[in-house]
Amino acid sequence: MTVFQQKQLRPSDGPVQISEEQLMARVRELAAQIRQDYAGHNPHLICLLNGAFLFHADLVRLLDIPLTIDFMQTSSYGDAKQSSGEVKLVKDLSFPISGRHVLLVEDIIDTGSTMDYILRYLGERGPASLKVASLLSKPSRRKVEVPVDYLGFTIPDAFVFGYGLDRAQQDRNLSFITSQK
């Protein structure tokens, strides 16, 4: 029995449910694609904190190619359940990205405001390439169109949590994704 199976945590009863097995299978598929696309390019995988921390950790462990990592954090003002559209930088990068092949690793793209801000901000720092891997996307909520090069799952408009994503800062430690009714 794994440490995850021992946890006394159960899915909620909302419309989106993605099991640990489904998550791992999809992350493996994305890793295989990324590995192929970036072989020989020493990519730089930037984890967008906090939500992407588990996706990023699982993804980089499955990438058996030379790579480097960094972390960055933004937040949006206002309601915690949805982005206000106004994004602020909370933690900047620790390493320069000039000339690097950057892959942004995000948990979820909702309105697109956060990713739009980050792409503009990092685009000015001269990366050799700049691509996006997002575990989840809610296309029906999009206000700003953003490119998503590697997408885990398209989901309907529901508030999801688990596997790094929070519900009022709790539940990031769930090994699956679940949602509220």
Q: Are 11 and 176 in contact (CB under 8 A)?
A: yes
82 CA to centre of own chain: 16
Q: Does the active-site annotation cover 110?
A: yes
Nearest to 46 by CA among 110, 80, 89: 89
Mark the segment that binds ligand 5GP (CB under 6 A) among 22-30, 58-66, 124-132, 159-167. Answer: 159-167
Structure tokens at 111: 């309105």
Identity of the residue, 42 or 154, whose beta carbon is nearer to ligand 5GP in the bound complex = 154
Residue 114 interacting with ligand 5GP (CB under 6 A): yes
Nearest to 83 by CA among 121, 52, 110: 110
Residue 51 interacting with Mg ion (CB under 5 A): yes
> Among 37, 92, 110, 157, which one carries the catalytic annotation?
110
Nearest approach, Cβ of residue 36 and ligand 5GP (Å)? 27
141 phi/psi in degrees, rounded to 5: -100, 0
* Residues facing 87 on adjacent strands: 76
Identity of the residue, 37 or 50, whose beta carbon is nearer to ligand 5GP in the bound complex = 50
Interacting residue ranges for ligand 5GP, rule: CB under 6 A: 51, 76, 83, 107-114, 159-161, 165-166
